[in-house]
Chains A and B, each alone.
Chain A
Amino acid sequence: METAMDLTGWAFWLPLIWAVLIALAVFFYVCMDGFDLGIGILFPFMREKAERDVAVNSVAPVWDGNETWLVLGGGGLLAVFPLAYAVVLPALYMPLIIMLLGLIFRGVAFEMRFRAENETQQLWWDRAFSWGSMVAAFTQGIALGAFVQGIEVRGRAYAGGWWDWLTPFSVLTGVALVVGYGMLGACWLLWKTEGPLHRRAVRLAWPFALGTVAAIALVSAIMPFLQPSFAERWLTFPHLLYALPVPVLVAFLVWRFFHALSRDTGQGGMADAWPFIIALGLFALSYAGLGVSMWPMIVPSAFTIWQAAAPPSSQAFLLVGAAVLIPIILAYTGYVYWLFRGKVTSESGYH
């Protein structure tokens, strides 16, 4: 931190701006691919092929764009915080490779499951979709947990072992993300579908949301004990005042969420959208809580965002493009979502 405070001007602001941008890119990924992956996680609960078809159709036009935020997160890290990229990726070697393999199965199954020629093929592509989604979600959670726990660094390189990522805490965060994505998927489905699938999604949203709340509570309880700086951030006096709103808001959103869920009418309109929006709010708060704990480290217990940053020239060069292009990307992404708005039904598809 001492060296960080010496920084002035662009050398101070650029890493800050980029940390926020990359954090946002990863958050967009978590939200948007979260409900895509959630649908795969919920596949075992949808026994009718027609239901699974509708569920997949509800995300088919947008999943590719959703996944691109993950590429931006990874690519942005390489461009702007190359040291963090070079340390974190080898540290999370195995979970990340398994995640990529899961995403391969999921992505190709998107295209292939509708083209299966018989029930055996159909079954296997559905499994590829569902298992791929679960594996991707679980390993993303593991990667998150391992990352938060801290990474052993010597010089400018990862110095830990090949199994450091596997701890009870990282398994907990892995399960938490599977359950959390399942909740997002259920909320997306209850918003975007009607009839039996809508009702099934409402029924599924309950246990997955309860599980998510339990996971948030458990992770929050363990977090302060992982690193001294976390405890200081959350449990000592003036910090406590700034941190306190996060758990209070979480509690409020949980209440509103179950309230909205229990009033489900299935009539469409905004009422069906609320559980999804509140679920995103829960993700945002958990993410913010994580951000508060981590700040200003980009590799926990090793590098701050300023220490890991590329030279200002690299950051500025990409920022010019990002400032112009990210609003445009958000605009046309919004347009595509708007284009495919409304309920997806087995009768109509998108027609």
Chain B
Amino acid sequence: MSVLGADFRRDFEIRRYPFLVYGLVPLTALVLQAWLPRLLGPYAWFDLPLVVTVYFALGRRSPIQGTLMGAAMGLFEDALSHHAIGVNGIAKTMAGFLAASVGVRIDVENFTIRLMFIFVLSLLSSAIYVFVYRVLLGLDLDWGWFMALLTALGNSAIALVMFPLLDRLQLQD
């Protein structure tokens, strides 16, 4: 675990990517999230937009950027569904903000911490989704926490592979 202070590490470890990466990676995540369930059927236990949101939030270490990225990804997911637009948006906005805020203070280079972090954020995102749907909107929602748990595990597994791959795309000074 690093002993550097938060502000120093933030200035030192902010990652930068080519401009295209900010557009193509989220778009690829959205397209794959919409397309892969056709192949995998009921076994599509992952949320690629959430993984990408958390990755960029952790890498950029900017809560505002994490918030905006989460909101955009969530709204796109909502727009592709037939549910109200904004439910996933709120959930992923919170996830992006929290990822960036916490990423400033802990060492997210450690793989174990990364996996635990994405696991917890996945469950938190699901909880916010259910809260907004049932409490804020007052709508009926059949929800299974087992599926949410599987999705969180799937996100952790994907992050294990995807984060090192995305790390290769960052700009080197």
Same complex for A and B? Answer no
Interface residues of B (CB under 8 A from A): none
Interface residues of A (CB under 8 A from B): none
